[in-house]
């Protein structure tokens, strides 16, 4: 196949690292406050919505990997060009690059918002965004292997945050979950759809696939990773539902961070301040991976060099962060982006798989006919 | 290598620039440890703040400042104008409400406390009999820092389960719950001491009634499971079984150390509504009339049933009092919500039902052991 990628084995990564890449791409700023968004739809059955959303990621990931396997060693951009031809294929690629750009922007802006609300109300947006972007450029310039390393360390160093969820359990009332399944199924599915913004990120596998050394193990690692994320989200959701009362959860913007605000140690009065600062490590791979995915796309479409692309991209994002200032604007972007992401990540890969399979059948028949003639 | 150097310089620059944010140096800030809200005479809110100014060379200085303004943040500005140091609220431990404020509506105060990210969710809330400024401005002989003192007083009593817990998280949790109302300790000044004198009951955000401090044990076991705490009760003549005493006395005080109590609620009739409340209490006998032979299992059994009877009478009484003011501080409503499907409960709806609620209290009291001397 003409657009398949040949990569130097030196630049490839092990399939076991895909576990870290997928998980770190999924967990980012969404986990700060997804409880409230889901709760608005599914109320106390929100944890069922989380489970359904987790199941959906497994199904979609299955379709994505199936599509990739058909093409051997190719990424989504190459598949687009193969399936739709050069012009329409590139049109889809540009949409996907834009999607990565918006995702990058959204993560960055949300994190800056959290810092400004909780810790430094006076710190300018441009300063924080410039600081973060410089770090990301630095990581990006190291190439894919460095980015994967960042993902690995981000998870390993952040694991200690999970046991912190035990502290709020002191005030948890299990009764808050009963009666189970009181909401109708439509409301629960709506809640699952609202999870889109929080649970996306695993689409990175569509871009990273050609870079994996042992491709037969990709499937296993991706599914393990998705399972891990789903369980994590489920635990956070259950703790929040039992810790907060009905009305309070609806009014808390960053439920996870407020959850931490109760924790205090003799040597540290307010734990969530540490957690928020530490979160930079968690969003770093998130940002790097989106930037890298966008770069891969741009490279396929217009053959741009990495350095040039990263500066243009960063400048655009930097300008955008300055223009979006208020909470309501950010909220609107999150909701709209969540909606778009739902279609791009959860609906489109299934359609793409169908098209690819149809096309394969069609061409193989044609080839058979050709042979006969 | 040159490329690397550019990034390196940028990183160094950034890390230096981080130092340019707003600083809060301990010597230059006043730590607000306690805030009391009253109804102002001219403006809406009168605030009394206890501010501790840390001084590395001398002893720390504690200032009590009362200001009046329309909002609580406005009051902070006014207090700032009276101090040489910047006021911060990150170390706030207790918030007190004057009786008049509590009888108005606390919704505004709860929300504005929750809104501020530098306020901890673990601070204690309480109601003061009369005005908070009067309590805080008084010059106590033995208390240096009134803010720290009230905090320690509340913390000690709540940790040892002598008083119901009233952290901001719990109050906000119950306030935003459909089937529960809030309750807070009441604080008062008794000459040179500050003491806990009772428990305030709220109907939504308004204080409607109060229990004397002696009832706080009953409130605790009725509200939740319980782990420690001493309580005393007086057995009336009709409750004392004849097997227990030969000579006739009118009343008999007994003291227990409750080791564990477990509350089980069961909704038996959703229409009325009617609840079965089952309490299992395991206790240690501490003080009893010297004529009672605690070595005799029969006597212990008689004593157990006498205390059980007495407890269920008292518990029914306190629930009845809370029903008369429509303040469900025990969370019966939440049990109702979680057991009845599609109840679509609202706070108002529950308050209406709560008035007519029936409860059957069953207490199973068990004396595990007494002291080392029978």
Q: How far apart are CA B330 and CA A196, in angstroms?
A: 39
Find, among B212, B187, B199, B78, the residue nearest to B134 by Cα.
B187
Contact B95, B154 (CB under 8 A): no
Q: Which of residues 38-67 of A touch B (CB under 8 A)?
A: none
The segments of chain A whose pLDDT lies below 50 read 1
Cα–Cα distances in angstroms (integers) from residue B8 to residues A287, A293, A310, B13, in the given order: 20, 25, 17, 9
Within 8 A of B7 by CB-CB distance, chain A residues are: 134, 137-138, 141
Q: A188-212, pLDDT tens digit by residue?
A: 999 999 998 899 999 999 999 999 9
The sheet carrying B230-236 orders its strands as B230-236, B251-269, B274-287, B358-369
A23-44 burial: b if 16+ Cβ within 10 Å, else e: bbbbbbbbbbbbbbbbbebbbb
With contact defined as beta carbons under 8 Å apart, do A26 and A202 qualify? yes
Q: Does the distance separating the beta carbons of A134 and B10 come in below 8 Å?
A: yes
Q: What is the count of residue pairs from A and B with beta carbons less than 8 Å apart?
A: 80
pLDDT at residue A27, as a whole number:
92
The residues spanned by each domain of chain A are 13-362
3-state secondary structure A263-318: CCECCECCHHHHHHHHHHHHHHHHHHHHHHHHHHHHHHHHCCCHHHHHHHHHHHHH
B176:A269 CB<8 A? no
pLDDT for position B40: 81
d(CA A233, CA A56): 14
Mutation site, B338, B339, B350, interface A, largest A CB count within 10 A: B338
Minimum distance, in Å, between the CA of residue B225 and any CA atom of chain A = 12
At residue A229, the pLDDT reads 95
- B17 vs A: CB within 8 A: yes
Task: Tell me the three state secondary structure of residue B213.
Answer: helix
Q: What is the C-alpha to C-alpha distance for residues B201 and B224, in angstroms, rounded to an integer?
A: 16
Residue A135 to chain B, least CA–CA distance (Å): 7
Q: Residue A262 is nearest to which of B169, B175, B177, comparing CB atoms?
A: B169
Give the sign of the dihedral formed by CA A19, CA A22, CA A25, CA A26: negative
- Across the interface, which of B17, B169, B342 has its CB nearest the CB of A171? B169
Closest CA to B157 of B200, B194, B115, B131: B194
Contacts of A127 in chain B (CB under 8 A): 17
Q: For each of the domains in chain B, give its residue range(s) and CATH number, in order of start.
A: 21-213 (no CATH), 224-369 (3.30.300.210)
**pLDDT score, position B18:** 64
> CA–CA distance from A330 to each of A25, A113, A118, A196, A243 (Å)?
20, 9, 16, 16, 27
Q: Which of A98, A39, A340 is nearest to A197 (CA)?
A: A340
Quote the CA–CA distance of A207 and A67 in Å, as a whole number. 12
- Decide if B114 touches A, using CB distance below 8 A: yes
For chain A, positions 75-134, list CB contacts with chain B under 8 A: 117-118, 120, 122-123, 127, 130-131, 134
- Contact residues on chain B for A118, CB-CB shorter than 8 A: 117
Residues whose CB is less than 8 angstroms from the CB of residue A217 and which lie 6 or more positions away in sequence, other chains included: A15, A16
> What's residue A1's pLDDT?
46
Structure tokens that stand for A186 in this block: 């439509």
Residues in chain B where the model's pLDDT stays below 70:
1-4, 14, 17-23, 228-229, 237-239, 241-249, 258-259, 370-374
| Superfamily for domain range A13-362 | Amino acid/polyamine transporter I (1.20.1740.10)
pLDDT digits (tens, 9 = 90+) for A34-69: 999 999 998 889 999 999 999 999 999 999 999 999
Q: Of A261, A19, A303, A268, whose CA–CA distance to A154 is shortest?
A: A19
Beta-carbon contacts of residue A65 (< 8 Å; ≥ 6 apart)? A205, A209, A218, A219, A222
Nearest CA in chain A to B13: A131
The predicted pLDDT at position A147 comes to: 93
**Distance in angstroms (rounded) separating the CA atoms of residues B165 and A20:** 43
Q: Mapping DSSP to helix (H, G, I), strand (E, B) and coil, where does residue A7 land?
A: coil
User: Which residues in chain A have Cβ-Cβ distances shorter than 8 Å to B177?
Assistant: 245-248
Residue B229: both structure tokens together: 């705490």
């Amino acid at each position: 196949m003409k657009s398949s990628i040949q990569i130097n084995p030196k630049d490839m990564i092990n399939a076991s690292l895909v576990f870290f890449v997928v998980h770190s791409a999924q967990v980012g700023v969404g986990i700060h406050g997804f409880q409230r968004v889901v709760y608005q739809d599914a109320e106390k059955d929100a944890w069922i919505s989380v489970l359904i959303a987790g199941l959906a990621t497994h199904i979609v990931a299955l379709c994505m990997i199936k599509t990739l396997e058909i093409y051997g060693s190719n990424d989504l951009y190459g598949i687009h060009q193969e399936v739709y031809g050069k012009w329409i294929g590139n049109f889809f690629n540009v949409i996907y690059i834009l999607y990565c750009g918006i995702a990058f922007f959204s993560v960055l802006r949300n994190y800056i918002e959290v810092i400004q609300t909780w810790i430094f109300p006076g710190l300018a947006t441009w300063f924080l965004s410039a600081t973060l972007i410089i770090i990301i450029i630095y990581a990006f310039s190291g190439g894919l292997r460095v980015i994967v390393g960042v993902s690995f360390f981000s998870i390993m160093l952040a694991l200690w945050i999970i046991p912190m969820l035990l502290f709020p359990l002191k005030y948890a009332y299990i009764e808050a979950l009963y009666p189970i399944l009181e909401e109708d199924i439509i409301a629960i599915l709506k809640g699952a759809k609202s999870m889109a913004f929080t649970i996306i990120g695993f689409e990175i596998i569509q871009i990273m696939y050609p870079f994996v050394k042992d491709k037969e193990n990709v499937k296993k690692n991706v599914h393990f990773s998705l399972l891990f994320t789903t369980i994590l989200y489920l635990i956070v959701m259950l703790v929040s539902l039992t810790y907060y009362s009905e009305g309070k959860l609806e009014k808390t913007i960053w439920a996870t961070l407020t959850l931490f605000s109760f924790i205090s140690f003799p040597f540290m009065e307010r734990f969530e301040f540490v957690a928020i600062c530490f979160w930079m490590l968690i969003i770093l791979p998130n940002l790097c991976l989106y930037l890298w995915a966008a770069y891969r796309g741009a490279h396929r479409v217009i053959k741009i060099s990495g350095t040039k692309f990263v500066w243009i991209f960063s400048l655009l994002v930097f300008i955008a962060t300055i223009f979006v200032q208020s909470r309501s604007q950010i909220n609107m972007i999150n909701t709209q982006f969540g909606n778009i992401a739902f279609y791009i990540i959860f609906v489109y890969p299934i359609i793409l798989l169908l098209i690819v399979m149809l096309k394969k059948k069609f061409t193989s028949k044609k080839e058979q006919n050709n042979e006969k003639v | 290598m040159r490329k690397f150097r550019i990034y390196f310089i940028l990183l160094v620059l950034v890390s230096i620039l981080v130092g340019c944010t707003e600083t809060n140096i301990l010597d230059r800030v006043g730590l607000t440890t306690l805030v009391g809200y009253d109804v102002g005479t001219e403006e809406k809110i009168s605030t009394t703040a206890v501010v501790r100014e840390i001084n590395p060379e001398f002893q720390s200085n504690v200032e009590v400042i009362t200001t009046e303004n329309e909002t609580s943040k406005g009051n902070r500005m006014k207090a700032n104008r009276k101090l040489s140091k910047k006021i911060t609220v990150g170390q706030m431990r207790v918030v007190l409400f004057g009786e008049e404020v509590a009888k108005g509506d606390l919704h505004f105060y709860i929300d504005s406390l929750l809104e501020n990210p530098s306020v901890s969710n673990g601070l204690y809330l309480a109601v003061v009999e009369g005005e908070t400024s009067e309590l805080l401005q008084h010059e106590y002989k033995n208390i240096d820092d009134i803010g720290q003192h009230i905090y320690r007083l509340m913390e000690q009593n709540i940790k040892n389960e002598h008083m119901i817990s009233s952290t901001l998280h719990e109050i906000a949790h119950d306030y935003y719950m459909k089937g529960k109302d809030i309750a807070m300790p009441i604080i008062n000044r008794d000459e040179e001491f500050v003491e806990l004198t009772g428990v305030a009951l709220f109907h939504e955000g308004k204080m409607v009634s109060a229990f004397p401090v002696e009832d706080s044990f009953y409130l605790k076991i009725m509200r939740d499971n319980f782990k420690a705490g001493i309580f005393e009760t007086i057995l009336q003549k009709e409750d004392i079984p004849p097997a227990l005493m030969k000579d006739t006395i009118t009343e008999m005080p007994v003291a227990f150390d409750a080791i564990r109590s477990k509350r089980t609620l069961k909704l038996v009739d959703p229409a009325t509504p009617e609840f079965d409340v089952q309490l299992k209490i395991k206790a240690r006998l501490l003080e009893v009339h010297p004529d009672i032979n605690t070595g005799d299992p029969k006597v212990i059994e008689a004593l157990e049933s006498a205390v059980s009877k007495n407890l269920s009478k008292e518990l029914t009484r306190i629930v009845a009092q809370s029903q008369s003011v429509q303040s469900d501080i025990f969370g019966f409503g939440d049990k109702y919500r979680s057991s009845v499907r599609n109840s679509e409960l609202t706070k108002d709806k529950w308050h209406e039902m709560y008035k007519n609620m029936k409860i059957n209290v069953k207490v199973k009291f068990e004396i595990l052991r007494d002291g080392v001397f029978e």
